[in-house]
């Protein structure tokens, strides 16, 4: 959903080390102690660095972020001004866990004078299998009990399969406060330009934070993407990383298949699409291929 900009204000290792140092000195073994008056710009920079890794090339690279994210999450959740970022990071902790499970055998070091071995991404079928196991028997997010019955009719009214409402579990765990470092917000994590494209106002009240308006805009965008690409996996990939990225890859590899371009998508998108698919299968008992549009 857009790429963050590198302000070079603080490096990721520095930010991680600062968080670790503080946690070791200040956190009780059982509960969070008083939190530091951490610099807001530094906190946001750490999150932008994390998002840049999500938009990187290789899925397995995300595994290295697990420890840093684990340290950062409770700190973000405990401070009101950073709770929206915690709500964004929480559902993405899955990506770091799954990336760890998807790590492939590291190629042997190159011989002297030879180019370094090229990393590889796991095939899409392998990712789908891992995600099905990852979300099996997972309970509903607390807010889903109230929101799912309210939001499904909005999707249906936009002629979009109502089962896709579970996209909100993947994007925000049904927490409308969620905000990404590059500005996506709400249950369905719409970027500002996308929100405006579908008629939402960002000022004086951000309508992305209102469940009804946010849901309708998300459904309209999904319908547009499905109409364009003719496939829900491709539509979801475009929802996550942009229509242009998906279109260029389809043209480059002369294909109309998601699986033919999956390993070339940004790392987060490679994880996002099969996670959505696994969540819908778990919640609704239907695959993406089995979705049908109302009317």
CA angle, 134 as apex, 62 and 250 as ends, to 5°? Answer: 60
291 φ, ψ (degrees, to nearest 5): -70, 140
Model pLDDT for residues 73-98, shown as the tens digit of each residue:
888 888 888 899 999 999 999 999 99
Nearest to 195 by CA among 184, 182, 187: 184
Q: State the Cα torsion 213-219-222-227 to the nearest 10°.
A: -120
Q: What is the pLDDT of residue 257?
A: 97
The answer to whether the beta carbons of residues 57 and 267 sit under 8 Å apart is: yes
Residue-wise over 86-96: b if at least 16 C-beta within 10 A, else e?
bbbbbbbebbb
Q: Stretch 53-66: mean pLDDT, rounded? A: 88
pLDDT for position 6: 35
Domain positions in the chain are 12-101, 140-287
pLDDT band at 9 (very low <50, low <70, confident <90, very high): very low
The fold for domain 140-287 equals Lysozyme (1.10.530)
Model confidence pLDDT, tens digit, residues 182-216: 899 999 999 999 999 999 999 999 999 999 999 99
> Model-level pTM?
0.83
The 10s digit of each residue's pLDDT in 45-57 is 667 778 788 889 9
Q: What is the pLDDT of residues 151-160, one digit of tens each?
A: 999 999 999 9
| pLDDT band, very low/low/confident/very high, at 294 (cuts 50, 70, 90) | confident
Report pLDDT for 199.
Answer: 96
Reported as a pLDDT band with limits 50, 70 and 90, residue 147 is very high
Alpha-carbon span 217 to 159, nearest angstrom:
12
Q: Are 88 and 173 in contact, with CB atoms under 8 Å apart?
A: no
pLDDT in tens, 257-276: 999 999 999 999 999 999 99
Is residue 41 very low, low, confident or very high in pLDDT (cuts 50, 70, 90)?
Answer: low
């Amino acid at each position: 959903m857009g790429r963050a900009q590198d302000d070079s204000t603080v490096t990721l290792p520095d930010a991680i080390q600062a968080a670790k140092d503080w946690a070791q000195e200040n956190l009780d073994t059982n509960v969070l102690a008083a939190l530091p008056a951490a610099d807001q710009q530094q906190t946001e920079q750490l999150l932008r660095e994390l998002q840049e890794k999500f938009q990187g090339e290789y899925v397995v690279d995300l595994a290295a972020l697990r420890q840093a994210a684990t340290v950062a999450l409770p700190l973000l959740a405990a401070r009101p001004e950073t709770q929206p970022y915690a709500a964004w990071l929480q559902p993405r902790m899955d990506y770091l866990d799954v990336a760890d499970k998807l790590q492939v055998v590291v190629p042997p070091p190159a011989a002297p004078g030879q180019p370094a071995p090229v990393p590889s991404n796991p095939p899409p079928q392998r990712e789908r299998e891992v995600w099905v196991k990852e979300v099996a028997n997972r309970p509903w997010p607390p807010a889903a009990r109230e929101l799912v019955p309210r939001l499904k009719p909005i999707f249906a009214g936009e002629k979009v399969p109502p089962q896709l409402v579970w996209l909100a579990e993947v994007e925000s765990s049904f927490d409308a406060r969620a905000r990404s470092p590059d500005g996506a917000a709400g249950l369905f994590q719409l970027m500002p330009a996308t929100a405006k494209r579908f008629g939402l106002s960002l000022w004086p009240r951000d309508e992305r934070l209102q469940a009804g308006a946010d849901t309708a805009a998300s459904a309209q965008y999904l319908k547009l993407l499905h109409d364009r690409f003719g496939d829900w996996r491709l539509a979801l990939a475009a929802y996550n990383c942009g229509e242009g990225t998906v279109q260029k890859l389809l043209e480059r590899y002369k294909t109309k298949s998601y699986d033919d371009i999956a390993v070339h998508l940004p790392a987060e998108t490679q994880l996002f699409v099969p996670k959505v698919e696994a969540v819908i299968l778990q919640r609704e008992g239907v695959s993406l291929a089995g979705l049908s549009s109302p009317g």
